[in-house]
Chains A and B, each alone.
Chain A
Amino acid sequence: MSQATLEIVRISGHAGPAPGEGVKRAEQVCKLIDTTTCIGCKACEVACLEWNGYTFTDTVFNNSYQTMPETAWNYWNLIKFNEHEREDGTLMLLMRKDQCMHCADPGCLMACPADGAIVQYANGIVDFQQEHCIGCGYCVSGCPFNIPKFNTNTKKMFKCTLCADRVTEGLEPACIKACPTGCLHFGTKDDMKDLANNRVQQLREHFDFANAGVYDPPGVGGTGVIYVLHDATNPEAYGDLPKDPEIPWVVRFWKGPAKWLGNLAMMGGIVGVAMHYLRFGPKQVDSEPDDKKKDEKGGRP
């Protein structure tokens, strides 16, 4: 990992360009999740906990197979179960592995004010660096997928790393290794897109899923995690998977034009009062004729 600083393309809260940006060009890595072959076994949840050193936490039962309502700071990988009634009245049990999507245009990184707390590697992985995290929670507002989670004890944010430590060593992420059905794939973005498109073709031609498609949302520049969905026109049915995710415009404005407008306004204020002082100077207290005994402390002369 001594070369790691040369493999960074984006740094959060950094004054100036990212050092090493563009020095190294790497293949974009990508995780493909085929929801049509997922059986909801949660082997990926366990593998994620094991590899990242977390213990299994209490589950929250809500009349579903789902482990808990959403991912947690120490639970980065969660299968979302959703019952979905189709137009013909038949029921589908949709299972979607939820985790960080590793956006090409990451909202968390844009929102983050801490230098180096969020980095994007040349291979596309978006990673939190807890030693630089200040625990402000801005990334929570920046993320269109509700992924970064706060550890109230350490006051640091956590999320899926796409097993950056494994990928660096040429291994697939832990969740991929554990998947028994082969619904999880890992490789370059191009290969995964080919694989996904083939599967979509198959679903359309052989399984009567006319709306099958690949979920690789362009609003965030594409993602490092892509899905094959039975019905790509309705991703919301898979448990809060947004149809057209984007970095919230408030966050874009805040981190873009608002910054420069605000800085200009503040500079303007300082220059303005300085100009006033140079042009008009301080207000002196006039000594009036009837104030004969006015003492010398009456306003600085």
Chain B
Amino acid sequence: MSASQAIPASPAASKSGDRILRYTLSERINHWIAGFSYLYCLITGLAFWSPYMFWMAVMLGGAPTSRFWHPWFGLVFTASTLWMFKVWRGDMATTEADLAWKKAMPHYIRNEDDQLPPIGRFNYGQKLFFWVMLYGAILLLLSGIGLWFVESIPWSLRWLRYLAVTVHVTAALVTIGAFIIHVYMGTAMVSGGFTAIVRGEVSAAWAKMHHRLWYEQVTKETSAKK
């Protein structure tokens, strides 16, 4: 073990400075399928939500076209979210390290990252976002099917029609809130985060600062393999 510690960086890092693979190619592809299908549903959904945003549907080829594709893109979004669940469910379980991190979250918000306890591959906020989007996707799918085939819900069960509207709107608004924060953090707030989900790699320093336990784990694994 002491011999392996002498090896400074992982094999992945040795290829291009101290870079560490954070997201595999399939994870990245799937993330962007989910991202763009959600964005399409968001824009067309907002058009149906308010007359003042109806122009968004016009820009995307007209409201009947938007109405036609919205549920299909919704299916794509749900499928890719379920795929994420399959792949990331282990990484997304809350750990004790997360609970300590959660307590210190105000420091994270104020960019006082040196005062945060070390955490694994995903932080508590990322996990929260994942579960919000997963349950949101499931609720949007179920209620969306109700809205898609609203006439197939018999008149005697019409409370289901009203339930579908309520659930779809509520779940949409909650995921929009999460989405705004996610996009902000991924593009503007966390430097290096956007590169990670596009090219898949982060620097060792980035990994150490944001996900020290994960960093230690992957460097140990790769050096053990050697």
Q: Which B residues are CB-close (under 8 A) to A93?
A: none
Cross-chain pair count, CB within 8 angstroms: 152
Binary B-proximity of A1-25 (CB < 8 A = 1, otherwise 0): 0000000000001110000000000
Contact of B155 among A14, A146, A150 (CB under 8 A): A146
Q: How far is the CA of A284 from the CA of B49 in the complex (A)?
A: 38
B90 interface hit (Cβ, 8 Å): no
Q: How far is the CA of A70 from the CA of B152 in the complex (A)?
A: 13
Binary B-proximity of A260-292 (CB < 8 A = 1, otherwise 0): 001101100110110011001111111110010
> Known interface pairs A134-B63, A286-B114, A295-B17. Does A300 touch B48 (Cβ–Cβ under 8 Å)?
no
Q: How far is the CA of A184 from the CA of B101 in the complex (A)?
A: 73
Among the stretches A26-34, A160-168, A210-218, A247-255, the one at the interface with B is A247-255
> Known interface pairs A141-B162, A254-B169, A300-B192. Does A263 touch B50 (Cβ–Cβ under 8 Å)?
yes
Interface residues of B in 174-203 (CB under 8 A from A): 176-177, 180-181, 184, 188-192, 202-203
Q: How far is the CA of A269 from the CA of B177 in the complex (A)?
A: 6
Contact of B165 among A251, A269, A270 (CB under 8 A): A251
> Is B181 a contact partner of A284 (Cβ separation < 8 A)?
no
Contact of A277 among B49, B162, B189 (CB under 8 A): B189
A89 interface hit (Cβ, 8 Å): no
Q: How far is the CA of A15 from the CA of B64 in the complex (A)?
A: 18
A299 interface hit (Cβ, 8 Å): yes
Binary B-proximity of A137-150 (CB < 8 A = 1, otherwise 0): 11011000010011
Q: Which A residues are CB-close (under 8 A) to B51?
A: 13-15, 113, 115
A258 interface hit (Cβ, 8 Å): yes
Q: Which B residues are CB-close (under 8 A) to A170?
A: none
Q: Which A residues are CB-close (under 8 A) to B47?
A: 113
Contact of B176 among A155, A266, A272, A291 (CB under 8 A): A266
Q: How far is the CA of A265 from the CA of B57 in the complex (A)?
A: 21
Q: Which residue of A lies closest to B196 (CB)?
A: A299
> Is A298 a contact partner of B205 (Cβ separation < 8 A)?
yes
Q: How far is the CA of A140 from the CA of B63 in the complex (A)?
A: 18
> Is B150 a contact partner of A140 (Cβ separation < 8 A)?
yes
> Is A262 a contact partner of B49 (Cβ separation < 8 A)?
yes
Interface residues of B in 33-92 (CB under 8 A from A): 47-52, 54, 57, 63-64, 66-68
> Is B49 a contact partner of A113 (Cβ separation < 8 A)?
yes
Q: Which B residues are CB-close (under 8 A) to A265?
A: 173, 177
A86 interface hit (Cβ, 8 Å): no
Q: How far is the CA of A150 from the CA of B150 in the complex (A)?
A: 10
> Is B208 a contact partner of A70 (Cβ separation < 8 A)?
no
A135 interface hit (Cβ, 8 Å): yes
Q: Which B residues are CB-close (under 8 A) to A146?
A: 155, 158
Q: Which residue of A lies closest to B182 (CB)?
A: A273
Q: Which A residues are CB-close (under 8 A) to B214?
A: none
> Known interface pairs A115-B54, A136-B48, A140-B150. Does A288 touch B191 (Cβ–Cβ under 8 Å)?
no
Q: Which 5 A-B pairs have the closest CB atoms?
A: A298-B203, A273-B184, A295-B17, A299-B192, A250-B162
**Which chain B residues have a beta carbon within 8 Å of chain A's beta carbons?**
8, 17-19, 47-52, 54, 57, 63-64, 66-68, 109-111, 113-114, 147-148, 150-151, 155, 158, 161-166, 169, 173, 176-177, 180-181, 184, 188-192, 202-206, 208-210
Contacts A15-B52, A134-B67 supplied; 10 other A-B pairs, CB < 8 Å: A137-B147, A137-B148, A141-B158, A250-B165, A270-B180, A280-B109, A283-B111, A285-B210, A294-B204, A298-B203
